[in-house]
Amino acid sequence: MGSLTGKTALITGGSEGIGLGIADAFAREGADLVLLARDPGKLDAVAARLHGASVRTVAVDLAEPDALAALPADLAVDIVVNNAGVTHLKALEDTTDADFDAMVRVNLGVPFRLVRRLLPGLVAARGNVVNISSYWGTKMVDGRPASVYSATRGALNSFTQALASELGPAGVRVNAIVPGSVRTPAFERRFLGPMSDDQRADYDDYVRRSYPAGRIGLPADVAAAALYLVSPASTWVTGSILTVDGGFAVR
C-alpha cells in the first residue's frame, strides 16, 4: 500500500506540467484523483495514462467567475492542491483590468473559494492543502515587470500561513511550494521554444550562473515536495513556504 492509499486528492491545473507531475506522484502512492483543467481532451488523456488510479475529471475554466459551480455537490476530498495559475508579466501601464482580474481571480480567488467549498470534508479527514506559489512572490528578476502577478503570489503565501494558523486546531495542514523555473510544456511553448540558438545559449549560461544546482526544475521535483507535504512524513509541518528552486533564491 502507498502512503496515500484511501485518500482523495483534488488538483487544479492537473492536465499537464506541475499539476500532472503531482497527479502522477500521488497516483503512484495510491491516491484517488479529482483533476480540474480547461481542456477535456487533455484530461481524458491523463485519465488514460494514470490507468492504475481512480481518476475523476472536471473540465472547467477557472478564470470564469462561476467556475466552481461545475464541481459535484457531493465532492469531498482529503487533499487540495491549488496549482492552476494565470501569469501576465507586463509593465504596469500595459496591464489591463482584464489581466488584473484574471490573475487575482485564479491565483488567489480560486484557492480561497475552493478551500472554503471543500472545508467540511478537509476537516473531517484532517486533511491537507498545498498551494503552488512562485518565486515571483518574494524575488524580482532582472527588472522584469511583474507587479500584479507578484502581488498575487505574495498574497497566496500570506493566505497559506494565515490559513494554517486558522485551520491547525481543526487538524488541517496548509503549506505552499515556491518553485523556481520549471520545464513544463507551457514554459517550453511560451519561453524556450521561440528562442534562437544564440538566445538559448545565453539562457543556458544564465541558468548555470543563477541556479546553484546548475539546472531549472522538472515537474517531478515539485511533485516530490508536494508528496512530502501531504504524507505522514510531514505531520508536524504546517504554515511552511517551501522553496524548491535549485538554490535560485540564494543568489
For residues 158 and 164, give the distance between their C-alpha atoms in angstroms, rounded to a whole number: 10
Beta strands in the chain (DSSP E): 8-12, 32-37, 55-59, 79-82, 128-132, 173-179, 241-244
Res 140: pLDDT: 80
Q: Max alpha carbon distance in the chain (Å)?
A: 55
User: What are phi and psi for residue 17, nearest 5 degrees?
Assistant: 60, -140
Residue type for position 185: P
Q: Taking the domains of the chain in order of start, what are their residue ranges?
A: 8-184+218-250
Res 1: pLDDT: 78
Res 52: pLDDT: 79
Res 113: pLDDT: 97
Res 138: pLDDT: 87
Res 201: pLDDT: 95
Ranges of the chain whose pLDDT falls below 50: none
Q: Pairing relation of β-strands 128-132 and 241-244?
A: unpaired
Return the percent helix, strand and coil in the chain, to nearest 5.
50, 15, 35
Res 155: pLDDT: 98
CA nearest neighbour of 242 among 180, 165, 181, 177: 177
CATH class of the region 8-184+218-250: alpha beta
Which active-site residues does the annotation give?
149
Q: Pairing relation of β-strands 128-132 and 173-179?
A: parallel
Q: Are 9 and 32 in contact (CB under 8 A)?
A: yes
Cell 540564494 identifies what position? Answer: 250
pTM over 0.85: yes
- The per-residue pLDDT for range 105-124, each reduced to its tens digit, is 999 999 999 999 999 999 99
C-alpha cell at 109: 480567488
Burial readout 119-145 (b: 16 or more C-beta within 10 A, e: otherwise): bebbeebebbbbbbbbbbbebeeeeeb
Q: Are 139 and 120 in contact (CB under 8 A)?
A: no
Res 53: pLDDT: 86
- The per-residue pLDDT for range 13-22, each reduced to its tens digit, is 999 999 999 9
Between CA 79 and CA 85, with CA 80 as vertex, the angle to 5 degrees is 155
Q: How far is CA 26 from CA 37, 152, 172, 218, 229, in A?
A: 17, 27, 18, 16, 11
